Amino acid sequence: MLYKSELKSLAGCILVVAGLSACSANGDYPGTEYAPQMYHSVPYEPLSQITDESAGGWLSSSGNQTAEFYNSNPHNPNRMTMREPAENTVKRAGSLPYRYPKDTAGSTYYLDLAAQTLRNPLPENEEILAGGRLLYDNFCSPCHGGAGAGDGPVGEVYKGVPNFSAGRYAEMTEGHIFHVITHGQGRMWPYASQVDPEERWKIVRYVQTLQKQQ
């Protein structure tokens, strides 16, 4: 006959064994885990928006019960995971992408192609020109000068900055100017990371007014 204390010990051992056996894993069964979400991350396909509601998620900022990863960016048609940018942030890509890549060393193939085929999609009006002038003053005038004569403070130190209204520079096409802003040329560095495509086309509009100056 077992005493009461022995019964308690036996019951405790049975519970410990049962508990440990519940933690064992085999096959597709991971076993019973305490707070598994703390050490098993939810797997997401890279750059792919989750659409399975059973996957769970935090509530959206609009207060509805739909998980944030379903409706975070309604303007994204490709089901990618980027969220809608916060208000007043500066966009890094526009709706007017450039068409041609950078030339390899010693080649001007894509520059020549851009010069011949690219056309400015923005209208030539006062609003576009005003925006182009503001962008030009911020990004271009330190080298090219306020009037495009190549006499900006940087241009005075690093000689060879072109005068937009002189020689062949006065004949550069809109596609040529856009391609050079995008990829750079010679000692001029590319500005694609600082100025989005739509802003580049605005600058092109303004530079074309400087080309016509005497």
For residue 43, the one-letter residue type is: P
Give the pLDDT confidence of 101-138 residue by residue, as tens digits: 889 888 999 999 999 999 999 999 999 999 999 999 99
CA dist 142 → 14, 151, 161 (Å):
81, 8, 11
Residue 203 has pLDDT above 80, yes or no: yes
- Domains of the chain listed by start with CATH number: 32-80 (no CATH), 109-212 (1.10.760.10)
* Helix-helix angle 109-117:174-183, to 10 degrees: 140
Residue 16 has pLDDT above 60, yes or no: yes
What is the pTM for the complete model shown? 0.57
Give the pLDDT confidence of 71-102 residue by residue, as tens digits: 455 555 666 656 666 777 765 554 555 678 88
